[in-house]
Every structure is written in structure tokens, then in C-alpha cells.
């Protein structure tokens, strides 16, 4: 039993480190995306990002992907992909109707819904002791995002809430299906489906980009987001979901706004307020407590 708990501890620490790297990549991707949005409309930016990532997976790993293919694996991966696409699309559209601060806060509270979906889908027991670190993290997000007063649930907020629910469901379903589907296969289907889903919205609602006037830096943002923020990040996230509880993955994913603030300072010159520092501290404490509780449960 001691050997088992030591192995899990090592595995947990390893994947926590990888997830922090993933959140750093995603966090740095936000200011990079802000640069890309100067040249691409939102849906085309998302579609180019995910389709490029899909083509990268196919080009380098087509033999392994074909080997891992089965009709069942494809269907399970599509289920995950639907919630991934809904999360991204609803988040982008939400920005039309409300502030980026509100969207960022509401999307990040997906952590609240992960225990519920884990109970409904995975039949996992809802750990009451996790309520305290969840409360700390959500409070930290509230201060970090500098949300003033109460959030009124308008159209934008409701769309962001759909994004949070979809993101939480995606994490839990991925955790379930990775017992039957390889990490590489599910990541490939996820990127391809999301890319073409966003492309449909782009063709319906946005003007086609004028490629003759797009500079190299714009294509550089697409390349960075496709390679690092999508291919590498999804491999890390899905590998973690295969090996550690989805709730811990959800906790660590809340650090993305912290890394966004850090990288935005260096790339865009944006500065964090005192509330931001206080909120970030609460989030780190909450994540630390959740990790400790998980290890205590195993021991």
C-alpha cells in the first residue's frame, strides 16, 4: 500500500508539473491571440488554430492514429469534441455581449461543476473536504479577475456559463473515455472537430480574411497557438486526465489567468492590480490544499 501511494504521489507531482506548463502555454497564448485578433476575426482565428493543429497531428502521427482507430474510439472522441467545440464557441460569442473579465471569471469556475459531473458520469463520490479549496479558488478568481459587485446574468454571462459547463463536461468525459481511447487519437479528433466546427461559424458570421494583407507575425500567432497551445497542451491535458483525477486537472487549469497576467505584462505591458495579487495567492493556496487532500486520501 505504501509503495502504491508513493507511486501515485510521484505520478501526481509529475502531472501537476506538466499541467502548470500547459497552463503557462495557454496563458501565454492569450496575449498572443490578442495580437492575432488584429488580423483575423475570432472564429477564423480559432478555426485556423485547430485545423492547423489537426493537420500537424495527421502529418506526424498518421500511422499511430490509424492504428488506434476504431469506430467506437471515433464515436467516443466525437462526444468529447462536441463539448470542446461548444466551450470555445460560446466563450468567443460571450465576449460580444459582456466584458472579458466576466467571461474569464465564469469560464474558470468550471471547477465547481467537475465534482458534480464526476458524480453523474463517473459515479465518483463527491468529496465534501474539497469544497473548501474549491471555495478558495473561486474566491481567488473573483479577486484576480477584479470582478466588481455582483455579476448580472445577461446573454453574455449565460453563454460563458455554457462554456464553463461544457468545459467541465469535456474534462470528465475525457477522463472516462481515455480508459478506452489513446491520448493521441482523442486529441487529434478533438482538434479536427473543433476546428471545422469553428470554421462553419466563421463562414456564416464573418467575412473571409484578405490573405494578401496579412503579415508574417499574424501567421506566427497561428503557428504558436496550433503547435504549443493546441497540440502540446492537449497532449499534456489528456495524458494527465488519463492518470490523475479530473478535479485536480480542473484545479490546476484555474492557474491559466495567472500565467496570462504574467505573460501579458511582458508581451503587452499590462499590469496586475493588488486584487489580482491577492486573488492569485488564494488560488495557489486552494490548489495546494486540494493536492494535499488527494495525497492524504491515497495514504
| Digit-coded pLDDT (tens) for 52-79 | 999 999 999 999 999 999 999 999 999 9
Secondary structure class of 123 (helix, strand, coil): coil
Q: Mark out the alpha helices in 69-182 (DSSP H runs).
A: 71-97, 100-108, 110-121, 131-144, 155-177
Residue 226 clears pLDDT 90, i.e. is over it: yes
Pull the grid cell for residue 39: 488580423
The predicted model gives 149-158 an average pLDDT of 71
Burial of 186-206, coded b for 16+ CB within 10 Å and e otherwise, reads bbbbbbbbbbebbbebbeeee
Confidence band for 150, pLDDT divided at 50, 70 and 90 = low
> What value does the mean pLDDT take over residues 211-225?
90
Give the pLDDT score at 1.
Answer: 47
Residue range 101-147, pLDDT digits in tens: 677 777 777 888 888 888 888 888 877 888 888 888 888 887 877 65
pLDDT in tens, 25-42: 988 887 888 888 889 998
Q: In whole angstroms, what is the distance from residue 13 CA to residue 134 CA? A: 19
Q: Cell 482565428 sits at which residue?
A: 45
Opening angle at CA 203, ends 169 and 100, nearest 5 = 50
Q: What is the rounded average pLDDT for all residues in the chain?
A: 86
The domain locations on the chain are: 2-298
Task: Please calculate the CA angle 233-234-237 and round it to the nearest 5 degrees.
Answer: 90
Looking at residue 299, its pLDDT comes to 52
pLDDT at 24 exceeding the cut of 70: yes
pLDDT at 293 over 50: yes
Alpha-carbon Rg for the chain in angstroms: 19
Mean pLDDT, residues 155-181 taken together = 90
Minimum mean pLDDT range among 132-146, 181-195, 233-247: 132-146
Q: What is the pLDDT of residue 204?
A: 93
Residue 253 in grid coordinates: 487549469
- CA triple 261-265-270, angle to 5 deg: 85
More confident residue, 287 or 86: 86
Label residue 232 by pLDDT band (50, 70, 90). Answer: very high
- pTM score of the predicted model: 0.86
Residue with cell 469553428: 198
Per-residue pLDDT at 152 exceeds 70 = no
253 compared with 90, residue with greater pLDDT: 90
Amino acid at each position: 500500500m505504501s509503495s502504491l501511494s508513493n507511486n501515485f504521489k510521484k505520478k501526481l507531482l509529475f502531472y501537476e508539473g506538466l499541467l502548470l506548463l500547459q497552463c503557462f502555454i495557454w496563458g501565454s497564448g492569450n496575449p498572443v491571440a490578442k495580437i492575432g485578433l488584429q488580423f483575423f476575426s475570432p472564429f477564423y482565428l480559432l478555426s485556423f488554430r485547430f485545423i492547423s493543429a489537426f493537420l500537424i497531428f495527421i502529418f506526424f502521427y498518421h500511422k499511430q492514429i490509424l492504428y488506434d482507430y476504431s469506430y467506437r474510439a471515433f464515436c467516443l472522441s466525437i462526444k468529447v469534441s462536441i463539448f470542446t467545440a461548444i466551450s470555445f464557441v460560446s466563450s468567443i460569442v460571450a465576449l460580444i455581449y459582456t466584458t472579458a473579465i466576466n467571461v474569464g471569471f465564469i469560464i474558470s469556475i468550471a471547477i465547481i461543476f467537475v465534482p458534480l459531473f464526476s458524480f453523474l458520469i463517473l459515479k465518483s463520490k463527491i468529496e465534501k473536504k474539497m469544497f473548501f479549496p474549491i471555495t478558495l479558488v473561486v474566491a481567488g478568481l473573483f479577486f484576480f479577475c477584479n470582478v466588481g459587485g455582483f455579476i448580472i446574468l445577461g446573454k453574455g454571462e449565460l453563454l460563458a456559463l455554457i462554456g464553463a459547463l461544457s468545459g467541465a463536461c469535456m474534462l470528465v468525459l475525457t477522463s472516462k473515455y481515455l480508459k478506452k481511447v489513446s491520448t493521441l487519437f482523442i486529441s487529434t479528433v478533438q482538434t479536427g472537430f473543433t476546428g471545422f466546427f469553428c470554421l462553419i461559424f466563421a463562414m456564416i458570421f464573418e467575412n473571409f480574411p484578405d490573405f494578401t494583407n496579412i503579415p508574417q507575425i499574424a501567421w506566427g500567432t497561428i503557428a504558436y497557438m496550433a503547435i504549443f497551445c493546441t497540440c502540446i497542451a492537449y497532449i499534456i491535458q489528456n495524458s494527465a486526465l488519463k492518470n490523475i483525477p479530473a478535479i485536480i486537472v480542473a484545479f490546476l487549469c484555474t492557474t491559466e489567468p495567472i500565467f496570462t497576467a504574467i505573460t501579458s505584462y511582458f508581451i503587452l505591458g499590462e499590469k496586475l492590480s493588488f486584487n489580482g495579487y491577492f486573488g492569485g495567492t488564494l488560488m495557489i493556496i486552494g490548489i495546494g490544499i486540494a493536492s494535499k487532500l488527494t495525497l492524504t486520501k491515497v495514504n
